[in-house]
């Protein structure tokens, strides 16, 4: 199994070009199933999850191509299968995003139940009850969600919790439904807005994306378009954290700073100097002291759960005490035990971590349990004295494009072994 070897102690300095957002590109790839002709998505990050979604769609008989310029092209004029098999779904929960489009366009879908993962049980009940409210008949048997309908009907749906992929799935179902659908308590995440913008370009009638009520008037068909993916706000935040934790200066280019306001404010609270333009953001920590900050994860525009682990690493080498509360997922603190192996002083009480900053951490062999836990451990390794070996980096490859190359270019001593 591949590992990262990191020799810590270098203040990182330079520019990093940010890739397209994982959490935006996956729903866009699923949306290509709605287009009755060729479609092209640009600025696609080279990630394991993007390949998995490509393979999932290709397995349905769609022509799929990813070229060297990071363009994902499809032609879903016809498909030969409406099945998302277990072997692919089990490696990527976002596979559930094909359910809405398949049902809306073909009236039939068979999608392996994604199941839980390291960060929590992650049920999909809100996706399913929303589709049932639109007239789908759904059974869950032999580990598969089997859904059928004549044509989906518009409905007034109140989602009992804010769910990002739930909102996206129901949005993609509603665009081809008969009549009007209202999605109440919708997720406000920028990736939902990116999907809505793409669907609108394809001919969908959507109002209110980016607010908690989205109204969709169903249309008969959608056309393929040429669409460029939003920059990855979590990748951006992770490289800014790398500058903060090493006392360096990093500028992220091709970024969208207006999508990560809550995290930027926390970096400021932590003592960093942040400067930003329309499509770049810089964090300068040179000559400044890293201060511990309190974090409460929330749905957008609150502080994102996908940045919690990175701030935990920063708090571990700060001055003061920071309290980190994880409110979105029930089991997203697995990085705490690994940070403690590096000398961090953290007390864990359920979903609350009380972090007392230390002057430094010591390099150690550690194990990544999930994607952002892997980012946390890489950051800790960059700041630690000595050598850190991060195991199970297949998690990292799900969400960070060429992370070792991007970090090496700004001075990090990191290699993949
Ligand atoms: C591919 C993608 O975009 N992944 C993101 C998406 O995941 P994902 O869309 O899976 O996360 P959700 O927003 O759905 O989850 C939020 C909460 O709602 C619960 N829930 C969700 C659906 C449901 O039917 N029933 C239910 O109870 C979940 O268990 C969780 O506690 O949003 C998360 C929260 O910002 C991010 O951490 C993930 O990076
Ligand atoms: C939890 C994450 O992703 P996913 O929903 O794809 O597991 C993440 O991006 O941090």
Instruction: Calculate mean pLDDT across residues 134-159.
Output: 97
Predicted confidence (pLDDT) per residue in 279-296, tens digit: 999 999 999 999 999 999
Domains of the chain: 4-11+262-273+288-416 (3.65.10.10), 22-228 (3.65.10.10)
Which ligand has the nearest atom to the CA of 327? 1
Query: Could you tell me the distance, in angstroms and rounded to a whole number, from the CA of residue 329 to the centre of ligand 1?
Result: 8
Q: Is 96 in the pocket of ligand 2 (CB under 6 A)?
A: no
Pairing state of beta strands 72-75 and 63-66? antiparallel
Q: Give 220-271 pLDDT, tens digit per residue.
A: 999 999 999 999 999 999 999 999 999 999 999 999 999 999 999 999 999 9
Complex ipTM value: 0.99
Taking a C-beta distance cutoff of 8 angstroms, is the pair 6, 363 a contact? yes
Q: Check the annotation: does 258 bind a ligand.
A: no
Q: 159 CA distance to ligand 2 centroid (A)?
A: 20
Catalytic status, residue 117: yes
Q: In this predicted model, what pLDDT tens digit does every residue of 163-199 receive, in sequence order? A: 999 999 999 999 999 999 999 999 999 999 999 999 9
Cα(73)–Cα(415) distance, integer angstroms: 32
Asked if residue 328 belongs to a known ligand binding site, the reply is: yes
Give the distance (Å) from ligand 1 centre to CA of residue 39. Answer: 27
- The first and second tokens of residue 273, run together, are 């100097």
**pTM for the whole structure:** 0.98
- The whole-angstrom separation of Cα 26 and Cα 75 is 16
pLDDT digits (tens, 9 = 90+) for 189-212: 999 999 999 999 999 999 999 999
**Which residue, chain included where needed, has tokens 């525009």?**
301
- Tell me which DSSP letter residue 250 carries: E
Residue 83 has which token pair? 């099945």
56, 74, 238, 405 from 42: Cα distances, Å:
19, 12, 22, 21
Coil, helix or strand at residue 6:
strand
Average pLDDT over residues 55-79: 95
Segment 307-321 mean pLDDT: 98
Closest residue by Cα to atom 10, ligand 2, is: 306
Per the prediction, the chain carries an average pLDDT of: 97
């Amino acid at each position: 199994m591949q590992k990262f070897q990191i020799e810590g102690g270098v203040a990182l300095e330079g520019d990093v070009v940010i890739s397209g957002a994982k959490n935006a590109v996956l729903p866009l790839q699923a949306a290509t199933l709605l287009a009755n002709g060729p479609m092209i998505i640009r600025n696609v990050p080279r990630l394991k999850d993007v390949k998995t979604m490509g393979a999932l769609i290709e397995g349905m008989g769609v022509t799929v191509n990813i070229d060297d310029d990071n363009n994902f092209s499809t032609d879903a004029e016809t498909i030969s299968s409406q099945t998302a098999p277990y072997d692919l779904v089990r490696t990527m929960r976002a596979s559930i995003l094909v359910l809405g489009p398949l049902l809306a366009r073909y009236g039939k879908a068979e999608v392996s139940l994604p199941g839980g993962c390291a960060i929590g049980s992650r049920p999909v009940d809100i996706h399913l009850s929303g589709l049932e409210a639109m007239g789908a008949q759904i059974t869950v048997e032999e580990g598969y969600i089997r859904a059928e309908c004549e044509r989906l009907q518009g409905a007034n749906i109140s989602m009992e919790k804010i769910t990002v992929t739930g909102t996206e799935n129901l949005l993609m179902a509603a665009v081809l439904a008969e009549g009007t659908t209202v999605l109440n308590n919708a997720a406000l995440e920028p990736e939902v807005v990116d999907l809505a913008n793409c669907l609108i370009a394809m001919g969908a009638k959507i109002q209110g994306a980016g607010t908690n009520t989205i109204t969709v008037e169903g249309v008969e068909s959608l056309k393929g378009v040429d669409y460029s993916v939003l920059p990855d706000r979590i990748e951006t935040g992770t490289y800014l954290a790398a500058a903060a934790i090493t006392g360096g200066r990093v500028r992220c280019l091709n970024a969208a700073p207006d999508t990560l306001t809550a995290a930027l404010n926390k970096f400021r609270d932590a003592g960093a100097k942040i400067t930003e333009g329309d499509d770049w953001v810089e964090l300068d920590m040179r000559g400044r002291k890293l201060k511990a900050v309190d974090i409460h994860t929330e749905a957008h525009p609150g502080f994102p759960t996908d940045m919690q682990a990175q701030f935990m690493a920063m708090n571990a080498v700060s001055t003061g005490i920071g309290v980190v509360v994880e409110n979105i997922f029930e089991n997203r603190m697995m990085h705490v035990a690994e940070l403690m192996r590096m000398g961090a002083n953290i007390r864990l009480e359920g979903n609350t971590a009380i972090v007392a900053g230390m002057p430094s951490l010591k390099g150690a062999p550690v194990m990544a349990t999930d994607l952002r836990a892997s980012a946390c451990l890489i950051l800790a390794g960059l700041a630690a004295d000595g050598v850190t070996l991060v195991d199970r980096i297949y998690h990292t490859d799900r969400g960070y494009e060429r992370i070792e190359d991007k970090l090496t270019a700004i001075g990090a001593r990191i290699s993949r072994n």
